[in-house]
């Protein structure tokens, strides 16, 4: 009985380590950046998302493509989530189906809060989408997380008149 428990425990440890080291593979990749990288309080900037998909995959325009942002005390966004239509993302049609044309970067404006603390920060978000596998003819509802670092200065930005 003792050796059976040891073997079972060893098997569970190996299985758990494989599970914990496995990487999530996503058909949609996001490269996020903020410009400018160093911002003063009340200064405006923009978040740029370069989205790419694996070959043979298209991102469906319906039912939804949503970019969500985690709440942040440093960043003021027009809203916490954006749809493809909010961002006016172009669509293409193929075989009677409509897909998003994600060749152009997605830009979302924001401003830095007057209460933003000086220092390094990370803005986090995720994109919820439906990936369509063209050759195999099936869809996958999924999401991909992204994050982007930025720095906030102590000074307040003053617009020139």
Q: How far apart are CA 42 and CA 76, in angstroms?
A: 9
Residue 63 CB partners (closer than 8 Å, separation 6+):
130
**Model confidence pLDDT, tens digit, residues 27-55:** 889 999 999 999 999 999 999 999 998 88
Residue with tokens 């569970």: 12
Closest CA to 35 of 112, 92, 141, 130: 112
**Model confidence pLDDT, tens digit, residues 122-156:** 999 999 999 988 777 778 899 999 999 999 998 88
End-to-end CA distance of the chain: 83
Domain range summary for the chain, segments of one domain joined by +: 26-156
Report the predicted TM-score, pTM, of the whole model to 2 decimal places. Answer: 0.77
Q: So what's the architecture of 26-156 in CATH? A: Sandwich (2.60)
């Amino acid at each position: 009985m003792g050796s059976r428990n040891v073997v079972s425990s060893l098997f569970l440890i190996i299985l758990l380590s494989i599970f914990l080291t496995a990487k999530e593979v996503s058909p949609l990749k996001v490269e996020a950046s903020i410009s400018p990288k160093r911002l003063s309080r009340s200064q405006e900037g923009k978040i740029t998302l370069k989205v790419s998909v694996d070959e043979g995959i298209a991102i469906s325009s319906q039912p939804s493509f949503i970019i969500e942002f985690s709440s942040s005390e440093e960043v003021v966004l027009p809203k916490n989530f954006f749809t493809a239509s909010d961002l006016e993302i172009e669509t293409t049609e193929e075989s009677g189906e409509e897909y998003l044309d994600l060749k152009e970067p997605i830009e979302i404006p924001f401003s830095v809060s007057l209460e933003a603390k000086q220092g390094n920060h990370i803005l986090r978000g995720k994109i919820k989408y439906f990936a369509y596998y063209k050759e195999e003819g099936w869809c996958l509802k999924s999401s991909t997380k992204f994050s982007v670092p930025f720095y906030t200065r102590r000074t307040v930005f003053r617009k020139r008149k």
